[in-house]
A = this chain, B = another copy of it.
Amino acid sequence: MLHRIEPRSGVAFTLKRGQRLKVSDPEGEQVADLLAFNADDVDEVISSGRTLDYASRIFLTTGDPLYSNRSNVMLRLEEDRVGRHDFLLTPCSADTFRIIYGDEHPHRGCFGNLAAALAPFGIGPDRIPIAFNVFMNVTVDGATGELKVEPPRSRAGDYTVFAAEMDLIIGLTACSALQSNNYAFKPIHYEILD
């Protein structure tokens, strides 16, 4: 069953060990912020710092595991039609729009959307870490350290499949930040495959 996440919104759902999550970009150049929590103990959460350390790489793709803050594998990238994602930046938020874009009446962003979607699972906003930002294209200048948010490489219909290695609560968005998706808000599709 195909689910649609409307532009600038987010959802949360459970994903069982052994199931796979297919995240698709139906129109191209859109980003989906992905969070994962251990369904049996939500203090165990996806960890950028551990994952990048163990991979010794900031760019992850097919075969790479996503570790938790307790160094357990939560998800594994099983199939990746895009090959460029970000794991450095927190979900965009009202603060992002205020600080980076100068908005006076900022949108709540992926952060606010994730917080609202995760609340029924007992997960508060302070528990939201760096997300695995599916399709987000952030470049790093190795000499200066400069980060640039470039248009995603995903074209209409491209997707990435994640395999769950434990029972999870997943948070997932259609990203709300202009830079992330080349200045056009679009939906995200997802499917849970058994």
Contact = CB atoms under 8 A, between A and B. Distances in A.
A45 B127 CA distance: 10
A52 B88 contact: yes
Nearest to A92: B53
A147 B100 contact: no
Interface string A129-149: 110000000011110111110
Which secondary structure dominates chain A's binding surface? Answer: loop
A59 interface: yes
Contacts of A144: 57, 59
Interface residues of A, number: 40
Contacts of A126: 43-45, 69-70
A92 B126 CA distance: 23
A156 interface: no
A88 B58 contact: yes
A143 to B, nearest CB: 8
Contacts of A56: 146-148
Contacts of A89: 49, 52-53
Contacts of A45: 126
A19 interface: no
A48 B56 CA distance: 17
A14 interface: no
Contacts of A50: 90, 95
7 contacts: A47-B90, A49-B89, A49-B130, A50-B90, A53-B90, A53-B100, A57-B144
Leading 7 A-B pairs by shortest Cβ distance: A49-B90, A59-B145, A71-B95, A49-B130, A58-B145, A43-B126, A142-B142
